[in-house]
Amino acid sequence: MIIKNGKAALPGQNKLASVAIRIDSVGKIAEIGGNLTGDDDILDAAGLIILPGGIDPHVHFDDPGYTHREDFEHGTCAAASGGITTVIDMPCTSIPPIINIDNLMQKLDAIKSKAVIDYGFFGGVSAQSFEKGFPENMMLLSEFVLGYKTYFISGMAEFGQLDYFHFQMALEIADALEMPVLLHAEDYGTVTDATETAKHNGNSPMDYYRSRPEIAETIAVEKAIGIAKNIGADLHIVHIATAEAAAMIAGTDITGETAPHYLEFNKDDFQRIGSSLKTTPPVKSPGNREKLWQMLADGAIDFVASDHAPCPESEKNTGSIWTDYAGIPGTGTLLPYMFSEGYMKGRISLKRLVEITSSAAASRYGIDDRKGSIAVGKDADFAIIDPNATWTIKGAKFLSKGKITPFEGMEFKGKIVKTIVRGNVVYDSKMGILANAGYGQFLSA
């Protein structure tokens, strides 16, 4: 196939390039040039922008175990509809959790016939990891996973949080294995005490926000930085919600990600919208999102991820903010949001758009030999966008099992026309999903 007449976002460039792209028979980019000819099938991209396929490095597809919320087929279809060609799934919201090799193989067997795009896994280190098999389980997982997820506070009994001592132990083993550790950074003691007070005060979104205030994140990040620096470990802070926390890692070897809901909403929106915006951590004070946007543009925050974690209506709206499920769908809106509200509005450059939606995550998790940029030899993964099209977010039309979104009714500029994975069109905006379940390939480091 040759993709012709479009404008491509090439690595490191801030201007779109009018090039043609030849894809070979095994789904790799074979040639990039101004005027390619041959007997190949032609995909005419006139008037369209060609981005490297998006990478969403933080999803909870809940499979196996919680498939009433999401599964790998619906989750990857939703991702494909938003220009995402690779996802990395978290270890903590499937049964059994991915804390050992047997559990990983059980999960892989359950989902390998479902994915329509490529996918990787993170392994996990939980409180249960230290009951038996530590550190051998981390070592055995290292061949198959792209990093290890940990929590300082966890709402999942089957995936308990780590205290600072056990977190240090996990960092030491990961460092020896030359693997990154990902941290949900909210301080357990702060959240526990704040929650007790907040529950006495009421049952509103603002009460939930007060149970997990900014200080819970900054305390946790400060302590994690100290431990990681002492070891020289490879640490990544997930879903940074607080600008002060992002500032703490700026200029260090520690990396971090944020998510679109922290860039778009604040606690006043949470009070207005309600539990469709309930996440952990919750969105923060007014003024915070503008600082996050600036740090994302400047590179102080490395990339974005969706933290996709949907649930059905019965779990999202229980009648109490304290029992409403904390999580939202987001993998299908991640790249369109960053294109519309970031690039098209001038908040981020073309170069940063490519980095924060694709290349930075590929590099961070060791898959940049295959993914993350439009370059000869890489997988032919593309998100093809009509920059002049506008569309309105309607959760009922999501391909995810999750339909409840805080972005409901927002209008985005720039619509995904086609998503291509390894040279094959897996999603078309007019025809829907074109790939068979099971087309997606498992990625390891």
Residues taking part in catalysis:
307
Q: Could you list the beta-strand ranges (E) of 77-192.
A: 84-89, 118-121, 123-124, 148-151, 181-184
The β-bridge relationship of strands 255-258 and 303-304 is parallel
CA atoms of 286 and 116, how far apart (whole Å): 38
CA atoms of 408 and 55, how far apart (whole Å): 23
439 φ/ψ angles, rounded to the nearest 5 degrees: -65, -35
CA 403, distance to chain mean position in Å, is 18
Residues in contact with 352: Cβ distance below 8 Å, sequence separation at least 6, in sequence order = 296, 297, 299, 342
Type of residue numbered 169: M
Contact 8, 50 (CB under 8 A): yes
Contact 220, 212 (CB under 8 A): no
Measured between its terminal Cα atoms, the distance across the chain in Å is 28
Segment (H or E) for 385: strand 382-392
Phi-psi region of 424 (alpha: psi -120 to 50; beta: other; left: phi over 0): beta
